[in-house]
Chain A
């Protein structure tokens, strides 16, 4: 697949851009943070009405097969929507519901489980969260949350951190250890858990990007064998590709975030005057803007290549995904830093939007492994 948009993809991009421009203002980030966003549940930190509207456009079901109410399209298409959402810093449960929990059910679930949840996701009626991370740095198999076998099934106990969109979720997908010890790839098991079940306590977190994230404690939560996704002990096989696809999606969001931040910075360079001249005439700033442009171009190329590699089932898809995450994280970080510097004092204020881009980028950079993690993985996959 060529690294350009097809005609259909260009149409999708146009309609996504139009919808995003008319629906999500960057200021909504502050409203969700400060609890001033209109709606009954300010703790949700995103709008379920908007989620519903995107479902009507088909976007929540882009990667799901038609039999579950999806569009049966690819990651190249999903990336287009995520990039546009990234431009507006739109807080929507795409990563949690579609890329993490939904994709886990699609890849690992039985037919009953798929029928129970996927049509609801595609219709915009259900929001799900995947509770996996326990350590600060991403380390996928460092799992201590136990699911101990009982006479009736399992009993789950442990603590999950940084669970995206867990508050208000209709269902949780929980990664537990049924055997072995923390760090082992084997012995991990996934469960569908009702957030209202006994022994589940969800604590809302306040994080840098003002989005929905929670700490979840499981204290002897009962789960039956029917709630297991896939085989007991084999969760890593399901999750590995799920994480990779989610990373590819985050890359697209990062491209959107950095593009908007970069373009706003360029605009500032073309309008802000000091010493009687536009600051964009200063070579010290021009050259750094040129460097930001180069980094962003590489981030775009790598992101597109990785998304297409997933759709093509290329043998080098994983390598490209990790390489792209390293590049997009570094490029977003550079553009975040430089944009604040170039805006000067006003860039430090909460009133100016530019800082919001750096904050969301920081969270997306860290999510599912930062550039250090992915450069290391790239080296491992390359065999040196």
Chain B
């Protein structure tokens, strides 16, 4: 896509492109007219493909790696125009939003040319091998072992919460390469091909039903030495950097932008009815809706401020933890409010008698409970803020 310098002209180019390329089938809310939201999957795929061809899935990456070569300002215009056109959210992809930025900075030239373009073109799927059954909040205590034998690492152990591991092509994985070193210094960052013999995957069922989460087991898995990212023992540094991206991505879920099916005020108007002045009829619900919407506005505004600070070369300091903490709590509150508005329609699990949209609310209400756990629990985020930002004693 033309990277026009004039922001107003650029905005027109972008909005025209969205207008011409965004599939008509996605312009109605998912689940509208009682449809099964899954029916729109092929159109979502087509849209992702069109975006990928233009490098728009990774707008700020260089063109040589499949990005669009946009500046931060241009990427922001793209995101604003998508929101304005009510383009549906792209599911957070581990390759695009988590690994990509770290790989760009720390990957070897070979690793970058092998992986980045495929990620940007949506051709290769990644999963994240971080948590272990015994290492949740205390991630750095992880024990999956990678022993360097000749030209290969031999990996043994078990990862949990590896989203989409059952259909991922690759995994970026934290492994212990030096059991003698201190907890943080003995960790390395490996890129592992999921087709390697010795890897087995089993999906995890959540309180909300089937999920993308999996457990992944490693039994003498041989990984070429070149697949080490960064230096041996540098894994924890890279891991933390990547977690910042993850927290930011998770925090942005809470913004509550126009990409969801029905906005919260729309849902409230539908469920509670409206009065003569067009206001949500139940004043108590209306106050809670106002609180949620106002908090979303505050979160979005703080995100803009943090982007402006980054552009001006002022570090906002561990802003990611704050956004993740606040965004996930807001998401939880929204879902609590949505399910309470549905009343008895919000208790349907499956089958007849409930609309797909109502059952989605129920499942999402359950799934949202995980938002304040994944990516570092909110308690961990508060610890990070207290330590790194507020400099409170340990």
Q: Which residues of A contact B (CB under 8 A)?
A: 2-4, 266, 269-270, 278, 280-281, 283, 286-287, 289-291, 293-294, 297-298, 300-302, 304-305, 320, 323, 326-327, 375-376, 378-380, 382-384
The answer, yes or no, to whether B268 is at the interface (CB within 8 Å) is: yes
Is the pair A301, B382 in contact by a Cβ cutoff of 8 Å? no
Contacts of A302 in B (CB 8 A): 297-298, 301
The answer, yes or no, to whether B132 is at the interface (CB within 8 Å) is: no
The answer, yes or no, to whether B223 is at the interface (CB within 8 Å) is: no
Give chain B's interface secondary structure class. Answer: helix
Cross-chain contact of B311 among A2, A281, A298, A320 (Cβ < 8 A): A2
The answer, yes or no, to whether B119 is at the interface (CB within 8 Å) is: no
Residue of B nearest to A382 (CB): B293
Q: A286-B382, A290-B386, A294-B325 are in contact. Are A382 and B287 (CB under 8 A)?
A: no
How many pairs, one residue from A and one from B, have CB atoms within 8 Å of each other in the complex? 115
Contacts of B278 in A (CB 8 A): 383-384
- Interchain nearest-CB distance for A327 vs B (Å): 6
> Hey, what's the 0/1 contact readout for B70-108 against A, CB within 8 Å counting as 1?
000000000000000000000000000000000000000
The answer, yes or no, to whether B21 is at the interface (CB within 8 Å) is: no
Is the pair A2, B312 in contact by a Cβ cutoff of 8 Å? yes
Cross-chain contact of B389 among A269, A293, A300, A323 (Cβ < 8 A): A293
Cross-chain contact of B290 among A266, A283, A304, A376 (Cβ < 8 A): A376
A269 to B390 alpha-carbon distance, docked (Å): 10
A380 to B283 alpha-carbon distance, docked (Å): 12
Between A and B, 27 residue pairs with Cβ closer than 8 Å are A3-B305, A4-B309, A4-B314, A266-B390, A269-B392, A270-B393, A278-B393, A286-B383, A286-B392, A287-B383, A287-B386, A290-B325, A290-B381, A290-B383, A294-B385, A297-B302, A297-B322, A298-B326, A301-B298, A302-B297, A302-B298, A304-B305, A323-B294, A323-B297, A379-B287, A382-B265, A384-B293
Residue of B nearest to A306 (CB): B301
> Hey, what's the 0/1 contact readout for B187-211 against A, CB within 8 Å counting as 1?
0000000000000000000000000
Given contacts A298-B301, A384-B279, 13 further A-B contacts (CB under 8 A): A3-B305, A266-B392, A278-B393, A286-B392, A287-B382, A287-B386, A290-B385, A293-B322, A297-B322, A298-B299, A302-B298, A375-B290, A379-B290
A301 to B298 alpha-carbon distance, docked (Å): 7
Q: A3-B304, A270-B393, A384-B268 are in contact. Are A289 and B297 (CB under 8 A)?
A: no
Chain B interface bracket (under 10, 10 to 19, 20 to 34, 35 or more): 35 or more
Contacts of B308 in A (CB 8 A): 2-4
Contacts of A304 in B (CB 8 A): 305
A327 to B290 alpha-carbon distance, docked (Å): 12
Contacts of B289 in A (CB 8 A): 379, 384
Q: A281-B393, A293-B389, A294-B326 are in contact. Are A4 and B305 (CB under 8 A)?
A: yes
Q: A2-B312, A287-B379, A384-B265 are in contact. Are A301 and B305 (CB under 8 A)?
A: yes
Q: A286-B386, A291-B382, A379-B279 are in contact. Are A305 and B301 (CB under 8 A)?
A: yes
* CB-based closest 9 A-B pairs: A384-B265, A3-B305, A286-B386, A379-B290, A290-B382, A290-B385, A298-B298, A2-B308, A301-B302
A334 to B299 alpha-carbon distance, docked (Å): 18
Residue of A nearest to B325 (CB): A294
Is the pair A327, B298 in contact by a Cβ cutoff of 8 Å? yes
Residue of A nearest to B263 (CB): A384
Contacts of A287 in B (CB 8 A): 379, 382-383, 386
The answer, yes or no, to whether B225 is at the interface (CB within 8 Å) is: no
Is the pair A384, B280 in contact by a Cβ cutoff of 8 Å? yes
Is the pair A326, B325 in contact by a Cβ cutoff of 8 Å? no
Cross-chain contact of B294 among A301, A305, A378 (Cβ < 8 A): A378
Contacts of B385 in A (CB 8 A): 290, 293-294
The answer, yes or no, to whether B183 is at the interface (CB within 8 Å) is: no
